[in-house]
Amino acid sequence: MPWTRGELLGEGGYGRVYECLNDDGTICAAKIVPLRKGEDERAQAAQAEIEREVEVMKKLWHPNIVQYLGTERTAKELTIFLELVPGGSITSMLSKYGKFKEPIVRGYTREILQGLQYLHANKILHRDIKGQNILVDHAGICKLSDFGCSKELYGEVALTTTLKGTPQFMAPEVLRNQGRGYSEKADVWSVGCTVVEMCTGQRPWPEFSTNEAVMFHVAMRDSARPRTPAWVSKDCSDFLDACFARDPSKRPSVDELLKHRLVEEVSLASSRPVMT
């Protein structure tokens, strides 16, 4: 369908995201990725990752996941059309409004978990859960986005071994897996990091100035975990303790976390149970 490019919404390593107006009057987001044929291996790997992201998103349909709408390809660029989520990311909201009050944290956390529950039920790891990759619409509904790091799992023992994600949000088993692999429990650690981000207004591990320092600390210190803010409730503190269990076998699943007191009964109207 013909469309008209509008306002630039954001840009990253792979391309730019624009608001666009379709000729039928609908509005969506367009992620435009340049296709760089014949360039170095790094560019080729980035393009392959975008292609994998599209293949994953084609299979997803859930109210807490940004909806894939289609693609358009030319010789020079790939355009991915996505549901427009007008509220922006949690990270951008934190920069506007400051750290969130706990009722908002409770509601948003439930929304995030509901999206992850759907992914994990379909054997998909997100692998880059963080405020920047969670969009919020005007009704307060959170939607998981950016599936460039995601991974489909196969077989009875569903594990992956590749190092993917954002260091401040990565679980220790991801950083030190040494070929042993890791499971969907890595996303649970990242949820805990995102709760810390919402409660404080900044990413975990602000005391470290480089990604390498964070990665070394989390991988090598057996007690390393993001600090629980002193002002949160006991429910929130208990939730974070569960997410930050260093041993992933002792870390709860997303299904179990959805029964936790922090999110089981929330006041936000948007955070209602959904079908998986």
241 is catalytic: no
> How many Å apart are CA 53 and CA 57, to the nearest integer?
6
Question: Of 40, 128, 137, 187, which one is the catalytic site residue?
Answer: 128
Is 222 annotated as contributing to ligand binding? no
Cβ atoms within 10 Å, residue 226: 22
- What residue ranges in the chain does DSSP mark as E strands? 3-11, 16-22, 27-34, 68-73, 77-82, 124-125, 134-136, 142-144, 151-152
Q: Are 159 and 182 in contact (CB under 8 A)?
A: yes
> How many Å apart are CA 153 and CA 171, to the nearest integer?
18
Radius of gyration of the chain (CA): 19
Residue 28 φ then ψ, to 5°: -145, -175
Is 151 annotated as contributing to ligand binding? no
Q: Are 192 and 243 in contact (CB under 8 A)?
A: yes
Is 40 annotated as contributing to ligand binding? no
Residue 78 φ then ψ, to 5°: -110, 130
Binding-site members for Mg(2+) are 133, 146
Catalytic site positions: 128
Q: Which residues carry a binding-site annotation for ATP?
A: 31
Residues in binding site? 31, 133, 146
